[in-house]
């Protein structure tokens, strides 16, 4: 039996939608075309297009559904955060579309700007999505862990600061 390989991807998203993904308001992303196989459990790195032009965070993909356009609207109207007229325009001429359902999301405290991604990895932003190349994927994984560790350190620093003020307060109480 062979191990299933997950293909992490980079999704290009307009900044207004990227922001809604990370506030939890937008829990799905819609695409005209998208590979359904091997997508559940993969990571989608969110590239926020012009004017942001940076990878701004990541989302864990729960599953990808291929549905009729009308089924997509009926089931995901609210969680897609799109007006009906824009939805119709986007899927015009399509019978089917894809829904990428996010499990959880994590914004980056320090987004990775396009100019640095181009310089270090030869990255070219996708129109819709692309598979993350091995070296870029490793760098994004390291960046995500670095941010987790920084958040944890900031929390420890804050707790230490509060402990110091508590200790100072107890000195004045005596």
| CATH number of the domain bearing residue 109 | 2.30.130.30
Q: Does residue 75 lie within any of the structural domains?
A: yes
Q: What is the extent of the structural domain holding 128?
A: 9-133
d(CA 146, CA 148): 5
For range 125-137, the mean pLDDT:
92
Residue 106, classed as helix, strand or coil, is strand
Long-range contacts of residues 88-94, Cβ cutoff 8 Å, at least 24 apart = 90/30, 90/32, 91/30, 91/32, 94/32, 94/69
- Joined together, the tokens standing for residue 37 give 């196989």
**Beta strands 9-13 and 43-48, pairing class:** parallel
Residue 22 lies in a domain: yes
pLDDT at 60: 94
Asked if residue 2 has pLDDT above 50, the reply is no
Q: Is residue 36 part of a domain?
A: yes
Q: Which residue has the higher pLDDT, 24 or 174?
A: 24
- Assess if residue 50 is contained within a domain: yes
The whole-model pTM stands at 0.82
- Residue identified by tokens 């994004």 is 140
pLDDT digits (tens, 9 = 90+) for 51-96: 999 999 999 999 999 999 999 999 999 999 999 999 999 999 999 9
* 3 found inside a domain: no
Rounded to whole angstroms, the Cα distance separating 32 from 35 reads: 10
Number of domains in the chain: 1
Q: What is the CA radius of gyration of the chain?
A: 20
Share of the chain above pLDDT 70, in %: 82
Nearest CA among 135, 154, 80, 143 for reference residue 107: 143
What span, in angstroms and rounded, lies between the C-alpha atoms of 39 and 60?
10
* Confidence grade of residue 174 (pLDDT, cut at 50, 70, 90): very low
The answer as to whether 63 is a domain residue is yes
Residue 45 lies in a domain: yes
In this prediction, residues 15-44 reach a mean pLDDT of 91
Contact 28, 99 (CB under 8 A): yes
Q: Does the pLDDT value for residue 135 go beyond 70?
A: yes
């Amino acid at each position: 039996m062979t191990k299933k390989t997950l293909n992490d991807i980079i999704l290009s998203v307009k900044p207004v939608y990227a922001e809604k993904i990370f506030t939890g308001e937008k829990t799905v992303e819609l695409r005209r075309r998208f590979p359904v196989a091997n997508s559940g459990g993969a990571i989608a790195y969110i590239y926020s297009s012009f004017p942001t032009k940076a990878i701004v965070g990541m989302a864990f993909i729960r599953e990808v559904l291929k549905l009729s356009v009308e089924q997509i609207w009926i089931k995901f109207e609210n969680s897609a955060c799109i007006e009906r007229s824009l939805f119709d325009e986007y899927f015009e001429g399509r019978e089917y579309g894809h829904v990428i359902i996010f499990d959880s999301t994590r914004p980056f405290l320090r987004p990775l700007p396009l100019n640095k991604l181009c310089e270090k990895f030869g990255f070219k932003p996708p129109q819709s999505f692309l598979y993350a190349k091995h070296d870029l994927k490793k760098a994004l994984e390291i960046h995500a862990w670095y941010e987790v560790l920084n958040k944890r350190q900031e929390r420890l620093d804050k707790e230490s600061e509060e402990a110091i003020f508590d200790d100072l307060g107890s000195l004045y109480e005596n």
